Amino acid sequence: MNSREKNKSNSLLSDAWRVLKKNKAAATSAWAMVVMGLMVIFGPLVSPFALDQTDWYQISAQPGLASGHIFGTDDLGRDLFVRVMHGGRISLMVGLVATMVSVIIGVSYGAMSGFIGGKTDAIMMRAVDVLYAMPFLFFVILLMVFFGRSIFLIFVAIGAVNWLDIARIVRGQTLNLKGKEFVDAARTGGATTTRIVFKHIVPNLLGLVVVYVALTVPQVILVESFLSFLGLGVQEPMTSWGALVNQGARQMETSPWMLLFPGMFLATTLFCFNFIGDGLRDALDPKDRTRESG
């Protein structure tokens, strides 16, 4: 009780942030992601080499400070550091943008469907089922054939598939929240359906959604890597971590650094997001918080 009085009027989120900071793995991961974000943004600006510039004298060069290629070069003599940073831009952007798109669509769709219920719900959810049934790769190839390859299409393809999961989860949770008395209270308070969904239901889904985002970002990055690996992803000379790993894998025996560096960045990102997701799940669980405050 006393501790509660002391730091009064702190919101659930700031409470959660306090708990998150205490979770060493999650806090370290969060900082690591910030550092990585800064690196991929400013790295290419600092580097003397360009993305598609070939250094004729340093083809497949080992990493070394003397040559200026700190991550070495690839089999075409391009600086790997710059390529990894550029690849990071694409990978993280795909991860974040595609996740955001799918979260926005998925949450609105799921919350509406669950809240309105009845026939509307049935129709909306059957539509989701139909989209689920579409084979992902076929869908991607179809898009590529019609519109040609571009990064934008990857966002669309991944976003279009990922929101289905979120919509399902959000709908289930909404059904649960719908029965809560504060929703009835809002209705008797004259609130419209739209207002109830976006003011009362969605904020209460936040914990769930934040955790889902943290777990989806690495998943999306992996999907993009997978597409790039199959040659359906980004187009040369642009690159992504997935594409770099793909190239590196082919040169594994002669120049292992080509696999090592992009692989390391990719793996670190995945680890970090998983730790952050785990930490957020604990931090947003009210039970954990009460135990923590005694």
Partner 1 sequence: MDKILSVDSLNVSFNTRGTIITAVNNLSFGLQKNEVLGIVGESGSGKSQTVLSLMGLLESNGAATGSAVFKNKEILGLPDKELNKIRGNEIAMIFQDPMSSLNPYVTIGQQMSGVLRQHSKDNKKEARDRCVEMLSAVKVPSPDKRIDGYSFELSGGMRQRVMIATALLTSPDLLIADEPTTALDVTVQEKILDLILEVKEKFLMSVILITHDLGVVARTCDNVLVLKNGIKQEYGDTEQIFYSPQAEHTQELLFKSRELDEPLQKTEPNIEPQTSASIKKLSVFFPLPKNNFFSKTEHLKAVNNLSFDVKEGEILGVVGESGSGKSTLARSILKLQKPTGGSISVFGENILRMNNKQTKKFRKNIQVVFQDPFSSLNPRMTVSEILAEPLDSFFPKTTKIDAIQTITGCLDDVGLGAGFLGRYPHELSGGQCQRVAIARALISKPKLLVCDEAVSALDASIRAEIIELLLKLKQHKKLTMIFIAHDLAVVKKICDRVLVMQKGILIEQGKTNTVFQNPANQYTKDLLDSVPVPDPRLEKEKYRKRLSNRN
Compute the least distance from the CB of residue 133 to partner 1, in Å. Answer: 24
Rank residues 198 and 271 by Cβ distance to partner 1 and give the closer one: 198
Compute the least distance from the CB of residue 179 to partner 1, in Å. Answer: 9
Closest CA to 175 of 257, 117, 97: 117
Among positions 148-187, residues that touch partner 1 (CB under 8 A) are: 180-182, 184-187
Tell me which stretch binds partner 1 (CB under 8 A): 9-17, 27-35, 54-62, 131-139. Answer: 9-17
Rank residues 166 and 205 by Cβ distance to partner 1 and give the closer one: 205
Among positions 78-137, residues that touch partner 1 (CB under 8 A) are: none
Closest CA to 78 of 234, 253, 239, 242: 239
Amino acid (one-letter) located at 93:
M
What the block records as the tokens of 44 is 């290419």
Q: What is the signed CA dihedral for 140, 145, 149, 153, rounded to 10 degrees?
A: -40
Closest CA to 248 of 65, 72, 74, 26: 74
Compute the least distance from the CB of residue 202 to partner 1, in Å. Answer: 9
183: left (phi over 0), alpha (psi -120 to 50) or beta: alpha
Rank residues 148 and 294 by Cβ distance to partner 1 and give the closer one: 294
Rank residues 181 and 236 by Cβ distance to partner 1 and give the closer one: 181
Q: Which residues contact 163 (CB under 8 A, 6 or more apart)?
A: 101, 102, 103, 105, 106, 109
**180 to 209: interface string for partner 1, x by CB under 8 A:** xxx-xxxxxxxxx--x---xx--xx-x---
**261 to 290: interface string for partner 1, x by CB under 8 A:** -------------------------x----
Rank residues 135 and 190 by Cβ distance to partner 1 and give the closer one: 190
What the block records as the tokens of 92 is 């993280």
Compute the least distance from the CB of residue 177 to partner 1, in Å. Answer: 10
Which DSSP state fits 294?
A: -
Amino acid (one-letter) located at 209:
V
Rank residues 167 and 202 by Cβ distance to partner 1 and give the closer one: 202
Q: Which residues contact 54 (CB under 8 A, 6 or more apart)?
A: 76, 77, 78
Q: By CB under 8 A, how many residues form the interface with partner 1? A: 29
75 binds partner 1 (CB under 8 A): no
CB atoms within 10 A of CB 120: 12
Q: Which residues bind partner 1 (CB under 8 A)?
A: 2-4, 8-9, 11-12, 180-182, 184-192, 195, 199-200, 203-204, 206, 286, 291, 293-294
